[in-house]
Chains A and B, each alone.
Chain A
Amino acid sequence: MASIQLHNINKRFNGASTAAVSSVSMSIERGEFLTLLGPSGCGKSTTLRITAGLTKPDSGRVLLDGRDVTPLNPAERRIGMVFQSLALFPHMSAAENVAFGLKMRGVDAAERKQRVARALDLVHLSQLADRYPRQLSGGQQQRVAIARALIIEPSVLILDEPFAALDRKLRETMQKELHRITRELKITTLFVTHDQEEALMLSDWIAVMNEGRVEQWGRAGEIFEQPKTRFVADFMGVPNFLTARVIGAEADGARLTVDGISFDAPAAGGLAVGETVEVALRPDRIELDPAPSGDGATIIDVIYHGLASSYTVALPSGRTLTIRDTNSGSGLSRFKSGETVMPRIHAKAVCYLSA
C-alpha cells in the first residue's frame, strides 16, 4: 500500500496570474524518502503544505497510508513536521517542546517523561533537555524539532527545507543525522529542498519541480544519470545543451553528430536518421586527449576543483563545452589555458531531452 499518494493536485492563490501547483501527482511506498526539489517559487513548499494539510488544494486528493486525508486537518493526518523556521516554542524548554504533541494527545505526565527521554536520546540531545531554544545552537535546535515531530509516532515525517539556513559543515552533519534516523526508524519521509546534492544524498525518490509542475519524477539515481528535460539537466548540473543530428539509429545504440564531431549515444526509441534531437552532455563523461598538432579544440578557461578541473573548451565551430576531467596524480590540472585538445564524447555522456 502506498504511504504517500498525491493525485492531480492543483492550487492557485487569490489574485495570482499563474498556478502555484499544477496537476501534481506522485506516490511512494512506506518507509521511502521522497524529496521535492526545485528553485524557489517552483511550488514545492506549497505541495508540501497541501500534503501536510496546512493549505487546502483547489482540486486533487492526498492519500496517506491509503486513507484519503484531503478533508482532514493536519493534526488528524498522523504526520510530524519540521518547519523551515523550526517553530520551536520559545517559552518552553527542549523537553517541553518535544512533549507538546503528547500533551495535546492526553498522554499522562509519567509516560510523557519516558517518551521524551527516549526521543531526545534518539537525536543525541539528552543532556540539554532543560535548555530553552535560545540557549541552543542551530544544530541542536534542529534536533529538538526533529524529536518533537517523531515522538508522536507519525506515519509520515515532513520536513520543509530545514537545513537551508545552516552553514556547510553543520548542514552535512544534520543531513547524515537525518539519513540515519529515517533509515533506522524506516519512516516514510517527505522532504523539500533547492539543493540537488542534498536531495541526491538523502532520497530514494526525487520530484524535480518547476513553475508549479513536476518536470521529472523518478529514483534519485535516474534523475542524476538521465535528466529528461533541459530544466532538470540544468538544475542537476548537466550543461552542454545542443541540438545534434542523428546519423545512425540501431537497436543497440545510436550515432549523433554536431559541429562535425560524431559520437556514440545510447539507444532510444523514436530516433530517425536525419532528424535532429536535443541533448545535454555530461561534463564528466567527455574525455580530453592532448592534440599537439594544434588541430582540435582550444582550452579557454580552467577552474581548479582539487580532485578534478573544469575546462571551458572552444570547438573550431565556436561552440563551447564544459568538460570535467580528473586531475593528474600530482594534483595539478592536466591542461592549461590556450592548449589544444581533442574531446572524446562517450555514449554515456548523452542525455536525451524532451522539452
Chain B
Amino acid sequence: MSEAAPGAASLEPPRGRSVLGDLADLFPRSGFLVTVPATLLVFFGLVLPVGYLLLLSFNPARAGVTDLTSDITFANYLRLVGDAYYWRILGRTLWIAAVVTVLSTTLGFLLAVSLWQSNPRWKGLLTVIVLAPLLVSIVARTFGWIIILGSKGIINKLLLSLGLPALQVMYTDVAVIIGLVHVLLPYAVLTILASLDRLDATLPEAAKTLGANGAVVLRDIIFPLALPGIVASGTIVFSLAMSSYVTPAMMGAANSSVITTVIYQQFVVNFNWHFGAVLVAILLAASLLTILFTLSALARFGRRFGEAL
C-alpha cells in the first residue's frame, strides 16, 4: 500500500459517468419499458383471445363460423341450462375434483410433514421423488398407469395369478381419480410445505417433551398452523383437477366424460365453437369462484393466525 496522499492522480474516481444513487433509481421510469414485450405477449396471447372466446359464446351457434358478429344471444347458455346431460357432466366433474382434492390434500399433508421433518441428508432426494412426477410428461405418467391398471396390466396379472377375478379399473372414474391424485399430489405437497416452512421447526419436539404423542402433534400442533397452506393447496388441486384434460381423456370412459373432454369434442369433433365457448366460460367461472372463495377464507384465517400465514 503506497503512502501517497489520498486522491493521487492514478486513483481519481471515474468522471463523467452517472453513478448509482439510491437503489430505486436504477429503473425508475424505464422500469415500465422493460416489461413491455412480456406484457404484449400476455395481452395478445391470453387476454384478447380469451376475451374473444367469451364474446363468441354470446353469438348464435353456426358451424364453421368463427368471426364475431354483433348478434348478441343467450341461446347457447340457455341450451346448456336446459340440457340435463351437461348438468350431469358438470356434476361428475365437480364430484371427481372434490374426491381428488380430499385425497390429495390429506395425503399431501402427511407427505409434506414427513418431508418437513426429514433428515437433511435425505431431504434433497425425497424432494426430487415427490416433485419428479411434475416434470415428467403427463402422457408418460398416464401411460404408466395404463400399464399398471389395464386389463392386461400388472395388478390384474397379479390377481389372476392368485386365482382372483380381474378388476376393471381402467376407463372408469376410479382410474381418473387415481391418475389425477398422482398428478396433483406434488402440487399439494409443495403448497403445504411452503406453509410449514414458515413454522418453527422445533415445535413438534417441544410438544413431545411435554408428553404429546405423534398423533397429537400432528392434529393439535401442526395441522392448525398449516391450515392456511392446506386450504390453499385444496384450492389449487380442485382448480387443476377440474381443468385437467389429458388424464380423463386417456384414462376415463368414453361415455363418462368430464367438462374438459366435452369441450374438446365441441371444438375438435363437432366444430360447434360457440357452444364450446359457453362450456369454457363455465369452466373459467368455476375456477375463479374457487379462488375467490379461498382468498376470502384465507383472509379470515389470516386474522386468526397472523404469523403462520
Contacts and interface: CB of A to CB of B under 8 A. Distances in A.
Whether chain A touches chain B in the assembled complex (some CB pair under 8 Å): yes
Interface of A: 54-56, 65, 73-78, 102, 104-107, 111, 118-119, 122, 150-155, 185, 187
Nearest to B3: A185
Given A54-B22, A153-B6, A75 B1 contact: no
A78 B19 contact: no
B14 A105 contact: yes
A314 to B, nearest CB: 39
A73 B8 contact: no
B67 interface: no
A151 B1 CA distance: 7
B4 interface: yes
Nearest to A78: B7
A118 B4 CA distance: 14
A76 B13 contact: yes
Given A73-B20, A78-B6, A150 B13 contact: no
A56 B22 contact: yes
Contacts of B6: 65, 78, 153-155, 187
Contacts of A119: 1
A250 B206 CA distance: 65
Given A107-B10, A119-B1, A150-B1, A73 B19 contact: yes
B17 to A, nearest CB: 8
B2 interface: yes
Given A65-B6, A76-B13, 12 more contacts: A56-B21, A73-B21, A74-B19, A104-B14, A105-B12, A111-B10, A152-B11, A153-B2, A153-B4, A153-B8, A155-B6, A155-B7
Given A76-B13, A106-B14, A122 B1 contact: yes
B11 A75 contact: no
| A56, A73, A107, A111 — most chain B CB neighbours (10 Å) | A73
Contacts of A122: 1
Chain B interface size, as a band, is 10 to 19
Nearest to B18: A73
Interface in B165-209: none
A104 B14 CA distance: 7
Contacts of B4: 153
Interface in B107-152: none
A102 B13 CA distance: 9
A5 B30 CA distance: 36
7 contacts: A54-B22, A75-B14, A105-B11, A107-B11, A153-B1, A153-B2, A155-B7
B13 A105 contact: yes
Contacts of B20: 73-75
B265 to A, nearest CB: 53
Contacts of B19: 73-76
Contact of A55 (B10, B12, B22): B22
Nearest to A106: B14
Nearest to B23: A54
Contacts of B13: 75-78, 105
B22 A185 contact: no
- 9 closest A-B pairs by beta carbon, nearest first, are A155-B6, A73-B19, A75-B19, A153-B11, A76-B13, A75-B13, A122-B1, A78-B7, A118-B1
Nearest to B10: A107
Contacts of B1: 118-119, 122, 150-151, 153, 185
A198 to B, nearest CB: 24
Contacts of A118: 1-2
Contacts of B12: 105
A329 B22 CA distance: 59
Nearest to A147: B1
B214 to A, nearest CB: 37
A152 B2 CA distance: 11
A152 B10 CA distance: 9
A150 B2 CA distance: 11
Contacts of A105: 10-14
Contact of A153 (B7, B21, B22): B7
Contacts of B10: 105, 107, 111
A168 to B, nearest CB: 25
Interface in B1-41: 1-2, 4, 6-8, 10-15, 19-22
B21 to A, nearest CB: 6
A185 B2 CA distance: 9
Contacts of A151: 1
Nearest to B7: A78
A237 B12 CA distance: 44
Contacts of A76: 13, 15, 19
Contacts of B11: 102, 105, 107, 152-153
A68 B13 CA distance: 16
A54 B22 CA distance: 6
A156 to B, nearest CB: 8
A119 B14 CA distance: 21
